[in-house]
Amino acid sequence: YPLSAPAGIRDLGTETHFEYGSRVGIWRIARLLERHGVHATISSCAEALRRNPEVTAWLCQSGHDLLGHGLRWTEQWTLSRDEERDHLQRAVALFIELLGERPIGWNSRSFPSVNTRDILIEEGGFLYDSDPCNDDLPYFVPAQNGRLLIIPYSKTLNDSRYLVSPGYVTPKDFVDNVEAYLDFLIREAREEGGRMMTIAVHARWTGQPNRAAALEGIIETVLSRPEAAFMRRNDIARYWLSLFPAEGEAP
């Protein structure tokens, strides 16, 4: 929302809007994915999982993978470098405590700070960064003693478009955009090689019935194209690294 409560006042309207996602929306999306046999990448803050053990238990046995999304719902650019590092370290530790494993990818809320990528590289343990929105394919950036894989995010096929103008007026707009995007990429891929399409949805928005119907339409559209497949981001990262091993590594 563009409006917020004054400092020191709880914004109960926004709180309950988010709560719809954790109470209702996540389960509607979970059932939909299971019904179609689709494994997805789940982006979450560590604290959100700690406060919702039912979702944590589901994530542990669902076959979906985790994209680290911070310790809390914090704007990274408001933190000092040391504060951001502390948040990341605490988030990774909490993910390990809750899920038994750490995230190997990272995506900041909205956008990263100027320090985020350096901190990811310095801390280690990450195969990829998903903060940039600047390509249709993964790519590498230089890092200390090597390189870091970028798996671009997208705010094009994203349910945040329901809230911005011009955006999606109806759920069908989302489905139509995905279909046009996908079919164009398939034509390009036939001529130039593979492409990647990111579809991003949020439990508090797409978990609502009419928008969940749009997600189901999107899934059915992708599954109807024999040249397209759903892949988790961890799988994309490992596949890309196998195609382009670092110097001295076996392919």
Domain of 121: which CATH number? 3.20.20.370
Task: Report how far residue 224's alpha carbon sits from residue 85's, in angstroms, rounded to the nearest whole number.
Answer: 43
pLDDT value for 111: 87
Given a contact cutoff of 8 angstroms between Cβ atoms, the answer to whether 221 and 171 are in contact is no
pLDDT, the chain, mean: 94
Please state, in angstroms and rounded to a whole number, the distance separating the CA atoms of residues 1 and 128: 30
Contact between residue 100 and residue 59 where contact means Cβ atoms under 8 Å apart: no
Residue 103 confidence (pLDDT): 98
What single string gives the DSSP state of each residue in 135-203? -SS-EEEEETTEEEEE----SSSBGGGGTSSSS-SSHHHHHHHHHHHHHHHHHHHHHH-------B--H
Residue 3 placed within a domain = no
What SS3 state is found at 106? strand
Encoded tokens for 126: 């990450």
Q: The pTM is what?
A: 0.92
Question: 213 pLDDT exceeds 90?
Answer: yes
Alpha helices by DSSP H, 22-163: 26-36, 46-50, 53-62, 81-99, 116-123
CB–CB of 94/71 below 8 Å?
yes
- Asked, for residue 231, whether it belongs to a domain, the answer is yes
Whether 248 is covered by a domain: the verdict is no
What confidence tens digit (pLDDT) does each residue in 20-74 have? 999 999 999 999 999 999 999 999 999 999 999 999 999 999 999 999 999 998 8
Domain that holds residue 220: 12-243
Q: What is the pLDDT of residue 204?
A: 96
Q: Is 106 contained in some domain?
A: yes
* Local confidence band at 157 (pLDDT 50, 70, 90 cut-offs): very high
Longest dimension (CA), the chain: 57
Residue 5 lies in a domain: no
Number of domains in the chain: 1
Flag whether pLDDT at 251 surpasses 60.
no
Is 4 a member of any domain?
no
- Identify which has the larger pLDDT, 8 or 89: 89
Examine residue 249 and state whether it is found in any structural domain, yes or no. Answer: no
Within-domain flag for 2 = no
Contact 174, 214 (CB under 8 A): yes
Contacts of 5 (CB under 8 A, 6+ apart): 11, 14
